[in-house]
Amino acid sequence: MTRQPLLARRAEELLGAAVAATSPVAGGDISTATRLRLSDGSVALMKTLPHAPDGFFEAEAAGLRWLAEAAGTQGTQGGVAVPDLLAADHDCVILRWVEPGKATADGAADFGRALARTHAAGAPTHGGERDGFIGRLPLPNRPAPSWAEFYAVRRVLPYLKLARDRGAVTAAQAARVEAVVPRLTGLVPEEPPARLHGDLWNGNVLWGADGRSYLVDPAAHGGHREVDLAMLALFGLPHLPRALDAYDEVAPLADGWQDRVGLHQLFPLLVHACLFGGGYGARAAEVAGRYA
């Protein structure tokens, strides 16, 4: 049994309960994750990040609360579950521990139906009341009157500029992406803003031993629901076809949505170009070339 004294004391301050033991949890790319065993026998997960950007954990906590509003309790027809948020402050968040399980085809179908209900919970506008983060990068959320405008000026163009500044895309590649922007209004059908997770890659879908799926690490905002689905496709959710079929049963997707998957993958590809360089900038340019 081990106990990191400083971390345990900080958790105790926020939870008002004694921490009996701590242990590291592998898998986080940004924050450090620690498993807490509390004196009452319950288990929690604490995420910390030294020198976190201002508002980093507050934005995560706000996103979790917003998604939780759409989530159902066990056995109800609600959205995707979210781990209980036990505490949050400028330096950490603490969540109720979810014992990991395995992804199954039936579980993926349940996830697809629940995600449709999360999206259907809606949002006041494209964007949000506060800016957030995508990874370590700031995520601008100032509202825009249409999804096409929001996607252009809050998602594609800011990260394209940052990728250029970091040398992750060439001038020619940037020009191919920019050529898509004037066409967005005609390419993407307008829909009421959906309640988006915002960073919905496979690693942010937690498959619980209780048979439920959970959403973690959100970059939540209002937007077009095809964005979440495109990101799931980009990074390979297990049993994705089952999930998408089940989603479409609950909330049928607009005609041609499969043809727009690449369009809505431009944003995560550019984010990855900013963060990791490599071939992500070239891939974004190749995808953009399909729509220009």
Active-site annotation holds for 255: no
Q: SS3 breakdown of the chain: % helix, strand, coil, rounded to 5?
A: 45, 20, 40
Helices vs. strands in the chain: H and E counts, helices first: 11, 11
Q: How far is CA 210 from CA 97, 101, 109, in A?
A: 12, 7, 15
Closest CA to 222 of 85, 115, 129: 129
Spatial distance between the Cα atoms of 96 and 99, rounded to a whole number of angstroms: 10
Fill in the DSSP letter of residue 168.
S
3-state secondary structure of 258: helix
Out of 29, 131, 165, 199, pick the active-site residue: 199
Spatial distance between the Cα atoms of 56 and 167, rounded to a whole number of angstroms: 26
The pair of three-digit structure tokens given for residue 110, joined into one six-digit string: 């349940």
Spatial distance between the Cα atoms of 191 and 257, rounded to a whole number of angstroms: 12
Instruction: Give catalytic residues, as residue numbers.
Output: 199
